[in-house]
Chains A and B, each alone.
Chain A
Amino acid sequence: MPTPNSAVDSQSVLLELDQPKLLIGEGKDETLILAALLDHLMIENIRVEEYGGKQKLPDYLDALRLRPGFAHLVSLGVTRDADEDETAAFASVRNYLDSRGFAAPNVSGHIQASNPSVGIMIFPDGRSAGMLEDLCLAAWRTDPVMTCINDYFDCITRVKGRMPNQISKARVHAWLSAQSPPDLRLGIAAQKRLLDWNNPAFEQLVNFVRAL
């Protein structure tokens, strides 16, 4: 039986809009992390779902408007990675929302009051290229383990003659490998409370979720 803030196994149960608020992420890790944050904040009236990646967001939004309970939805939060261009990522989400009749905010991290109210959060911070993993790395910046990880990737770069692809994901995996147990995915690590939500790096995301 899924709890409001748990990411739901989409293959085993039909997803219902059973809360007045909805927060959506690109994939499994994102929804697990967002659900962990809601648990930490003890917020129970926000449902978390994944929309299957940025390419599928328009289809998800089209179907969302038709779902039972949509008329009672108070607010919707859309999260997405900035990837290479935070401005383009925000504009893309905003355009998808706008063209489907949702009221969309002008700035990442803000909520546009409407029916439903709509917020957009571009990771890591709405002002930089990158992804959710970069937000986590920012939170771990002062973690002593990061010194080892930096040395490790310096070494990799020397030996291979280049940086690993998707260096942020690689750094996150390296950090996770230093935890116990060492083989967790980021989303599971969040569920196991390995993220310190009180770190200032998460402040913008915390404020966004609270304002939803």
Chain B
Amino acid sequence: MIQAFSVKNYRGLRDFTIEPLDRVNLITGSNNVGKTALLEALYLNLATGTALNSNLEQGKRPSSTWINLFRGFKDVPFNLDNVSKWGWLFPGKDLTKDIELISKDEFDIHHVVDMYWRVENKSEGAAIPPGISLDDLSLFMDVKFQNNRRNTFIWKVQKNGHQPPQSPLVFDSIPLRLLFNSSSRDPGEDTKWFSTLADVGRQDEVVNTLKVIEPRLKNLAISTSDGPAMIYCDIGIGRRIPMSQMGEGMTRLLSLVLEITNASGGVVLIDEIENGLHHSVLTKVWTAIGDAARRSDTQIFATTHSWECIKSAHEAFLNSEIYDLRLHRIDRIGQDITAITYDQKTLDTSVEMSLEVR
């Protein structure tokens, strides 16, 4: 699990550290303060140089090329023609600022990603010479594991596309999954991942979780009788109902539990986790999320604007076998963006006294 994460010069996060991190990390804060930027930075840190393990990816492109998904861009080719989009990753679009993203795990292994524009990579060239044309620059992404075995490789991004690293081609990666709002999600993803679980006899985990929202649920099955493969629900009424007809809460919770389960040993990044979930089921949903995360050894980073969501998470984790929740508020103080972290005690006081935390 990631214990701490530091960011330099990524969008508005100029010198930012968030720690300690826990199994489930709920990220809140006002609009436009940097919550999604933090998820992006985590994604770039974890995905750059890894195997292509996101379900969202197709083809042979590096995971980093999907960074703009967080902002609603489905596909932004990885070349300098799109500097108008890639440039936004740098603070104030200042390409002379190097981005540095460092995650540290429980074994004190640092995973470092450096992103910078240069004529040559850092080991061969100095800073950007004054007056140079953008056409002469490349975007480099250096990836390092800082442990006993100092592995390093470099991606070089040029006008005509990216140049993959020489060696090693990819690191051993941790599973990394993304979950955005329900409307942008392909139901086929859930069908595929549910099928993977069902193949190893773990469908009951999903069924039991979904009973939080639909207590009548008896079983789930995949069928192609109406066309493409879909998940159907048996709620004891004599006929099965397509999952897509069961309401947004069911499909959202299904996606959540499938992503968590299938990212076993890795990380799930979730934007606005409360979307589609009625406040009355939030505590039970959080209990289910916590159980699934512990069972799968998955770490979760989820953004929220909702007090009900925060309160419900706290109540659910208070009654869990272990309180492995942290609330982090991304806060703008003067010119700086900083993370304020609540532990069990401070969040307990805040909930009990109805103190604003967002």
Contacts and interface: CB of A to CB of B under 8 A. Distances in A.
Interface of A: 10-11, 13-17, 52, 56, 59-60, 62-63, 66-68, 71
Most chain-A Cβ atoms within 10 A of its Cβ — which of B329, B356, B357? B356
B151 interface: no
Contacts of A10: 353-354
Contacts of B30: 68
A60 B356 contact: no
Nearest to A50: B353
B350 A63 contact: yes
Where chain B touches its partner, the secondary structure class is mixed
Nearest to B30: A68
A14 B354 contact: yes
Given A60-B349, A63-B346, A13 B340 contact: no
Q: Which 3 A-B pairs have the closest CB atoms?
A: A63-B349, A14-B356, A59-B349
A20 B6 CA distance: 31
B22 to A, nearest CB: 16
Contacts of B340: 66
Where chain A touches its partner, the secondary structure class is loop
Contacts of B354: 10-11, 13-15
Contacts of B346: 59, 62-63, 66
B356 to A, nearest CB: 4
A67 B356 contact: yes
B333 interface: yes
A15 B353 contact: yes
Most chain-A Cβ atoms within 10 A of its Cβ — which of B30, B329, B355, B357? B355
B345 interface: yes
B353 A66 contact: no
B305 interface: no
Nearest to B340: A66
Nearest to A64: B355
Given A63-B346, A66-B342, A66-B346, A52 B353 contact: yes
Interface string B331-358: 1011000001110011011100111111
Nearest to B342: A66
A59 B340 CA distance: 16
B331 A68 contact: yes
Contacts of A59: 345-346, 348-349
Given A10-B354, A66-B350, A71-B334, 16 more contacts: A14-B307, A14-B354, A15-B356, A16-B356, A59-B345, A62-B349, A63-B346, A63-B350, A63-B353, A67-B350, A67-B356, A67-B357, A68-B331, A68-B356, A68-B358, A71-B331
Contacts of A66: 329, 340-342, 346, 350, 357
Contact of A68 (B307, B329, B348): B329
Interface in B81-120: none
Given A68-B329, A68-B331, A71-B333, A62 B345 contact: yes
8 contacts: A11-B354, A13-B354, A56-B349, A62-B346, A67-B350, A67-B357, A68-B329, A68-B331
A14 B333 contact: no
Nearest to A67: B355
Contacts of A52: 353
Contacts of B342: 66
